[in-house]
Amino acid sequence: MSSGPPGLTQEQKAFYQSNGYVLCQGMFTRQEAAALRREAHELAQRLTQFRNIEVVWTTVRQTNTVVQHCHDVQFYSAVFTRLLVDARFTAAAQSILGPNVQLHHTKIFIKPPEKGAPFPMHQDYPYFPHQNDSMIAAIIHFDDAPLEKGCVRVIPGSHKLGPLQAAAADHSLPHDKYPIEKATPCPAEAGDVLFFSYLTIHGSGMNTSGEARTTLLVQMRDPLDPPLSHEHKSRGQGMMLAGVDPSCCTTKVIEESADQSPVANQPR
Ligand SMILES: O=C(O)CCC(=O)C(=O)O
């Protein structure tokens, strides 16, 4: 019987534990990444026929930059559904989270050429705080993300600081205290995946290059780590990407809402 992809090496795990992030190089081939990139850009084109998909953080609005985004992309293309349960990806997530990996949400970001918006330094914690802080992000790179394309920057070890006081309504941290220029750049190539804790302080620079930067961010948690607030609900939240939900919590929520229906407990 095949044992499947190995996940992170001991060295990568140790790096993640002490730094709060780790870059897994070459998880996907350049060809796979190119196909995913095409899918992401075709999705963005389809979506723009229906709605504006350009956003920018309030704290960087004066920069005249934008980022195209779409949440919960697995509801728009089956290619992304398959990517979420790719064993190479889930094995790496299991190396950090343990055997059970539960989806919180996904989002594609396309930073357009020359005017791709920066992300101010922030922790993801305040958007969706959880009791045990198991939440991690994985940024799957569909094309190369060197410094000039606005690669992600992190403050190594900052996941050990706990939740910090944000400076603005958009939850960004004060620039004078956490200058992005001093953060460690994480340049990546197509097919690389960057994992980091939701407590790790991170941001990213502007895309000043002539090519878009295209990524998929997947936010995941241990299913036994309860949310502290009921904000940031997403379609598909609670889907198991690996292992099981020992609490059967997702099923319970479905049962509770079904109970309120006049046809509850009817065969369907
Ligand atoms: O994709 C990026 O450059 C950063 C994304 C990010 O920081 C976030 O969504 O929290």
pLDDT in tens, 98-146: 999 999 999 999 999 999 999 999 999 999 999 999 999 999 999 999 9
- pLDDT (0 to 100) of residue 259: 42
**Tokens (6 digits) for 98:** 């343990």
Give the pLDDT confidence of 13-47 residue by residue, as tens digits.
999 999 999 999 999 999 999 999 999 999 999 99
Predicted confidence (pLDDT) at residue 262 exceeds the cutoff of 80: no
Nearest CA to ligand 1 atom 3: 204
Predicted confidence (pLDDT) at residue 268 exceeds the cutoff of 90: no
CB of 220 within 8 A of CB of 102?
Answer: yes
Domains and CATH numbers, the chain: 10-259 (2.60.120.620)
CB of 232 within 8 A of CB of 130?
Answer: no
Pocket residues: Cβ below 6 A from ligand 1: 109, 119, 124, 139, 152, 202, 204, 215, 217
- Provide the whole-model pTM: 0.93
- pLDDT (0 to 100) of residue 254: 43
Task: Please name the amino acid found at residue 237.
Answer: Q
Taking the C-alpha atoms of residue 25 and residue 243, their distance in angstroms, rounded to an integer, is 24
Pocket test for ligand 1, best of 21, 57, 59, 139 (most atoms within 8 A of CB): 139
Query: CA end-to-end span of the chain, whole Å?
Result: 39
- HSE on the CB side for 3, CA within 13 Å? 2
